[in-house]
Amino acid sequence: MIKNSQERMALPPPPSSYNKIPTKFPHEASPNSTQILPTPINKPKIRTSRVNCISPSPSSSSSSQIHRRVSKFQPRNLRIRQQLGEPRIFNNYSRAGGVVVKTMEDVSIYNSNGKRNGRTLDHLRHVESMATMPSGAGKIPRLNAVILGDSLASEEDDVICPNDEFSSQALIPSPQKYLEMYRRSIEDPAGFWSDVASEFYWKQKWGQEVYSENMDVRNGNISIEWFKGGMTNICYNCLDRNVESGIGDKIALYWEGNEPGVDGSLTYRQLLERVCQLANYMKDIGVRKGDAVVIYLPMLMELPIAMLACARIGAVHSVVFAGFSAESLAQRIVDCKPKVVLTCNAVMRGSKIIYLKDIVDKALTESTGNGISIDTCLVFENQLAMKREATKWYEGRDVWWQDVVPKYPTTCSVEWVDAEDPLFLLYTSGSTGKPKGVLHTTGGYMIWTATTFKYAFDYKPSDIYWCTADCGWITGHSYVSYGPLLNGATVVVFEGVIISDLVILAITYTLNASAPFLALSGLSWRDHIILHFCNCYLEKAPNYPDSGRCWDIVDKYNVTIFYTAPTLVRSLMRDGDEARNFSNITRICHVKIYAPSDFNYSLTMQYVTRYSRKSLRVLGSVGEPINPSAWRWYYNVVGDSRCPISDTWWQTETGGFMITPLPGAWPQKPGSATFPFFGVQPVIVDEKGTEIEGECSGYLCVKGSWPGAFRTLYGDHERYETTYFKPFPGYYFTGDGCSRDKDGYHWLTGRVDDVINVSGHRIGTAEVESALVSHPQCAEAAVVGVEHEIKGQGIYAFVTLVEGVPYSEELRKSLVNAVRNQIGAFAAPDTIHWAPALPKTRSGKIMRRILRKIASRQLDELGDTSTLAEPAVVDQLIALGNSKI
């Protein structure tokens, strides 16, 4: 333990290579040598292109034309490459195995009859053209140059080339393979998806028509159907099919409890038996095909068991995140009218007990008042959190899971369902406040989640996969439960929370004088620090147990694929290898406590690099656009600059990935979701609904259906059509904004309702936030629009600083200038509001609705804040409102 400032100042300084730039450049080396350069720890502040590739002299005349293009930029680009990272060598312009990359300029976009395919005309050639994708020219003269190392990105973009070793074993090892499969998925969707679906078990095959669709409200009611007439069961394909294929003894689920050292596992055979027992019980109490079942469970193994048991008997599950309030739960119960509610008595969140049964009791009382009575509430006794003796009980309604379910047989007949029969309801937020019941059907969703999981993560049978999402969200449905299990994967399920904990090594006497201090009567500031130090250290609330838990789990289970949210990445960035986190004291005391930079640096190896993480081979990001600085940290620190990142864009409504990198196939740009998945035809339209070609920004829509698309909003098809199909007739409207750069890469800019119109300029909040976060002293930012008497709307930014950085007028100006420099003066924030933390849901999403109310001072219209991970943050932001600069 560091006891005083003298010891702290004696800590070792950063390594000598820190932030240094080599002075000898590759083009200055001898002609016959290739120079490999060291990678600096921190990227120098230089705004230009980055391509981690060097092209050697051509060995054949066939590549001379491309080589001349590379050579034209060589002095500048090689200098930049040396400054920004270790180059990668291409051998004779090959991606793998010394094979010369084939030019795609002569690839035809015509079908066998010499005619353009209607679905291909405006979409396939966009994918084939990195210069203008997805609405540009039909040829791709730039593709080879990018693959071979030419810098064709914009001045602000980085390009990270695939690792040759990884690409050589990848399922999609090259752009050519991707284009070949994508071409077929667009030109022949029926044939493509029929072949994919045939890999799964169908009791009865679908008819001659693989799919039918009407995506245009002008032609009647919206209707989407895939594999209609085919009879299958997703539980059978997740479990029975895998057991019968010989992997019954393979681990299906590793469960890691809230407390370190508390864990468990189930093989595919054991999981099948548990599912059958619960399915038999539900059948015995009268649950039938088509009946709804509400599941209000934490991340215990019983949660995926409950989902699969419902699917096995044809019941429609509606999982409600076990963090929603009783009121929110009651809303969902009233809407879907379930036959039974499944829950547990309590759960540990860090060191805090959440009494779930009490919440369910209140919800059931409220739903009864609204005319919906539930006869059975099945309660799992979570003994690690609470004994049954302390649980409130309603005789005749409440039943202990452990008392009844284990008594039932471990085999259960399968209810074969039509591909278009409903699988689950998942409620998502609506702009009107009423939750929307997104309905997904069985067959299309099964094929979509299985296929997207397989290719987006380059899944191999030896992989150990961990997604940090809760099954209460769509990510947990598609990529914790169904997608991985359909592929026979081993999945890590984590009960706890992955948030940083405060481990105090030293406290300086330096406080941020500009921050307001909430003094308690009779206590000095030093008393406050001691008091709250004890609270944080002894109670370990709200973080548990430390920021290394994430990487400890990775090492413990040898996780190879890690999928998480940008919020967690930014949190780990802040807490781990770049700055010491004193957020617990900051959050509670309303003060800034910080230490000199050498002290901060001495802690940089504590939470990430002290763990091996050597098992990792693919990283993933989900939930929101990941800003480039977080992407680079994720790639360089967590992935040791060797793990590709699948930065996925999709929605609850889409069922699975829509735009995502395929590891090993394409060069990546930090922060870009890259290109569409097979069968997805993204278009960018203007306000009139006209498709925009080439480099542009606008509204992201999808043309044509895909198997995983949701079919309706439960009980409100009119709202379904109005929300998603009427804004731009003929398209599915995602509600998101998107930019496409000159190389065809897609950049999600956030929700359209998060677009601010400043003096006629439409500015995406994600763009401003990314500019703010690029500032070295900004840890996180959230931007909202507020009324402005001159400009129409002004930009209001909530900014969380890196720990140890004092807030000042100079820093405010610096942050504003960062936005001015990266976007333009029109995007400069009008207000910077200091925020010790941002209001987030337990899944990590920022509640911008609350920030808008705070910014506009509509403090009596904040609404329900009980679903926030830390409701107290709202009061802090309100109290600090007068201190904004």
Q: Which of 188, 358, 753, 830 is catalytic?
A: 753
Contact between residue 322 and residue 332 where contact means Cβ atoms under 8 Å apart: no
Q: Which stretches does DSSP call E strand in 672-726?
A: 682-685, 696-702, 712-713
Contact between residue 804 and residue 592 where contact means Cβ atoms under 8 Å apart: yes
DSSP-based three-state secondary structure for 251: strand
In whole angstroms, how far apart are CA 254 and each of 265, 295, 465? 4, 21, 10
> Which has the closest alpha carbon to 838: 775, 780, 785, 878?
780
Contact between residue 25 and residue 78 where contact means Cβ atoms under 8 Å apart: yes
> Is-catalytic flag, 375?
no
Question: Cα separation of 233 and 442, whole Å?
Answer: 7
User: For residue 576, which phi and psi values (nearest 5 degrees)?
Assistant: -105, -90
Question: Cα separation of 533 and 516, whole Å?
Answer: 19
In whole angstroms, how far apart are CA 807 and each of 515, 802, 813? 8, 10, 11
Backbone region of residue 613 per phi and psi (left: phi > 0; alpha: psi in -120 to 50; beta: other values): left
Q: What is the DSSP letter of 753?
A: G
Helix (H) or strand (E) holding 365: helix 356-369
Q: At 176, list the tokens.
A: 């050519």
In whole angstroms, how far apart are CA 23 and each of 79, 82, 86, 223? 9, 9, 14, 63
CA atoms within 13 A on the CB side of 658: 27
Question: Cα separation of 189 and 211, whole Å?
Answer: 9
Q: At 221, list the tokens.
A: 């009611």
Helix (H) or strand (E) holding 820: helix 809-822
Helix extents (H) in 30-150:
64-84, 118-121, 124-128, 143-148
Q: At 2, list the tokens.
A: 């560091």
DSSP-based three-state secondary structure for 594: coil
Residues whose CB falls within 8 Å of the CB of residue 314, separated by 6 or more in sequence, listed in order: 233, 288, 289, 290, 415, 417, 421
User: For residue 531, which phi and psi values (nearest 5 degrees)?
Assistant: -60, -50
Question: Cα separation of 714 and 706, whole Å?
Answer: 20
Torsion angle defined by CA atoms of residues 802, 805, 807 and 813, in that order, rounded to the nearest 10 degrees = -80
> Which has the closest alpha carbon to 528: 505, 511, 503?
511
Question: Cα separation of 228 and 713, whole Å?
Answer: 19
Q: At 537, list the tokens.
A: 């250290």
- If one counts every other C-beta atom within 10 angstroms of the C-beta of residue 148, the result is 23
DSSP-based three-state secondary structure for 444: helix
Question: Cα separation of 5 and 354, whole Å?
Answer: 40
> Which has the closest alpha carbon to 225: 212, 241, 242?
212
Q: Based on C-alpha coordinates, what's the Rg of the chain? A: 27
Question: Cα separation of 809 and 814, whole Å?
Answer: 9
Question: Cα separation of 498 and 484, whole Å?
Answer: 21
According to DSSP, the residues that pair with 575 across neighbouring strands are: none
Question: Cα separation of 636 and 619, whole Å?
Answer: 11
Torsion angle defined by CA atoms of residues 270, 274, 279 and 280, in that order, rounded to the nearest 10 degrees = 100
Report the catalytic residues. 753
